[in-house]
Amino acid sequence: MISRRDFVKAVSGAMAAVGAAHPLLNWAADDSPVVIPGKEGMIVRSARFFDLEMPSEFMDSWITPVPHFFVRNHMHEPSTLDAATWELKISGEVEKPLTLTLAELQKLDAHSVTNTLECAGNGRAFQRPIVPGVQWQKGAVGTAHFSGPRLRDLLQRAGVKTTGKHVMFHGLDEVPGKVPPFIRSIPIEKASDGDTLIALRMNGAELTKHHGFPARALVPGWIGAASCKWLSEIKVLEKEFEGNFMKPGYRFPNHPLKPGDPLNLDDSHPVTALNVKSVIASPADNWTSKSRSVHIHGVAWGGEADVVKVEISTDNGATWQAAKLGRDQAKYAWRLWSHSWKAVTPGDYTILSRATDSQGRTQPANAEWNPSGYLYNAYDRVKIHVQS
């Protein structure tokens, strides 16, 4: 895995050497499509910092292979990260501040969590009126096995004082210009949950650089932004951290806004747990089926809640049929689902999917509009043409 800067350097060298018109080389020259080594086939939403979306046709396996797992970076990945000298500091409202090396973390009891990680802005591209930000469609989401020591065990070793109410994570991103560093906090209750990890491994292998090597927070069921990558410091605070990525970033209105209205920061809260949501992996939008029998399948998740039902409509929402849920399941992880449907006549159809979870939440026909397009979860929909 190489950093963007190394990548650009390598590409420039290669251009000078061969001067050929290869897709990789073209990007370095004029911003045409990028291929990022190890992430082939991903939709590149931004190549300045890596923002890579998984095409929905890849949503056909319960565990997302790392090469297909979305990447969301607010700034440059650290260009130099030496596992031998890297350290994690734990400080703030604790009795005994600690510094741990990677080797020390690797020796601690590891716990595994299968988690669906979704970016708060996934689906933003579908908000109307349009909102600024990375125009994610369906694939800023993926499911992986994460493992590493429980954050709770580290906090216990450090001895959290009664004044410690929030836990702040600081990442080692390389900050361009005046952009504030990536620092966010979570409440002590979530930090003390036995499933909140300092993850060192993803799908059985050490984390890759894109996903936070050597260590990242893993805050299961919550928006991806809670899971800070390239961790360097954990600090226990008396109050919620108030930097850029907590306020004004990643906030949701306390009361529904009229589409187009601005957010009043004093009447907002940080975005935490994920919404209930489903995505149709197949058929693809605008697909033409040669047969009247169509196999519809996809994924559905509910953050901290379990998916209990996925329904499909093939008549634009007039009637709904229950889809079959896949066998694989785990707390915080999405469920695969499928539905076999036979069109009565050839023609144009809109297929909708909607999920319901164990908290009684059902995906709405229209998502709650907000100025950053967070937590978009309207019914998923694809249009298809049945030919004969």
Task: Pick the closer one to ligand MTE by CB: 76 or 361.
Answer: 76
Q: Tell me the closest approach of the beta carbon of residue 54 to ligand MTE, in angstroms.
A: 9
Task: Pick the closer one to ligand MTE by CB: 126 or 245.
Answer: 245
Cα gap 219→115, rounded to integer Å: 9
Out of 115, 196, 203, 227, name the contact with ligand MTE by CB under 6 A. 227
Task: Pick the closer one to ligand MTE by CB: 301 or 349.
Answer: 301
Query: Judged by CB under 6 A, does residue 173 bind ligand MTE?
Result: yes
Residue with tokens 């709650």: 368
Cα gap 151→161, rounded to integer Å: 16
Restricted to residues 106-145, the positions that interact with ligand MTE (CB under 6 A) are: 117, 119
Secondary element (H or E) of residue 342: strand 335-342
| Residue 184 contacts residue 250 (beta carbons within 8 Å) | yes
Cα gap 111→78, rounded to integer Å: 26
Out of 58, 86, 222, 230, name the contact with ligand MTE by CB under 6 A. 230
Q: Which two tokens stand for residue 88?
A: 């994690």
Task: Pick the closer one to ligand MTE by CB: 269 or 342.
Answer: 269
Residues 6+ apart with CB under 8 A from 221: 115, 273, 274, 303, 304, 305, 332
Q: Which two tokens stand for residue 349?
A: 């159809």
User: Nearest CA to 319 among 361, 350, 278?
Assistant: 350
Query: Judged by CB under 6 A, does residue 71 bind ligand MTE?
Result: yes
Q: Which two tokens stand for residue 382?
A: 């694809």
User: Nearest CA to 39 among 79, 7, 81?
Assistant: 7
Q: Which two tokens stand for residue 80?
A: 């130099």
Out of 155, 160, 215, 225, name the contact with ligand MTE by CB under 6 A. 225
User: Nearest CA to 337 among 307, 308, 297, 302?
Assistant: 297
Which alpha helices (DSSP H) does 94-191 contain, by range?
102-107, 151-158, 188-191
The interface region with ligand MTE, picked from 103-111, 225-233, 303-311, 376-384 by CB under 6 A, is 225-233
Q: Tell me the closest approach of the beta carbon of residue 140 to ligand MTE, in angstroms.
A: 7
DSSP designation for 106: H
Q: Tell me the closest approach of the beta carbon of residue 270 to ligand MTE, in angstroms.
A: 13
Cα gap 352→103, rounded to integer Å: 49
Query: Judged by CB under 6 A, does residue 234 bind ligand MTE?
Result: no
Q: Tell me the closest approach of the beta carbon of residue 78 to ligand MTE, in angstroms.
A: 9
Task: Pick the closer one to ligand MTE by CB: 126 or 230.
Answer: 230
Task: Pick the closer one to ligand MTE by CB: 150 or 229.
Answer: 229
Cα gap 29→49, rounded to integer Å: 17
Q: Tell me the closest approach of the beta carbon of residue 182 to ligand MTE, in angstroms.
A: 4
Task: Pick the closer one to ligand MTE by CB: 92 or 212.
Answer: 212
For residue 11, report the phi and psi dihedrals to the nearest 5 degrees.
Answer: -65, -45
Out of 229, 235, 277, 354, name the contact with ligand MTE by CB under 6 A. 229
Q: Tell me the closest approach of the beta carbon of residue 181 to ligand MTE, in angstroms.
A: 8
Site map 181..200 versus ligand MTE, x via CB under 6 A: -x------------------
Query: Judged by CB under 6 A, does residue 68 bind ligand MTE?
Result: no
Query: Judged by CB under 6 A, does residue 171 bind ligand MTE?
Result: yes
Binding site for ligand MTE (CB under 6 A): 69-74, 117, 119, 171, 173, 182, 211-212, 224-225, 227-230
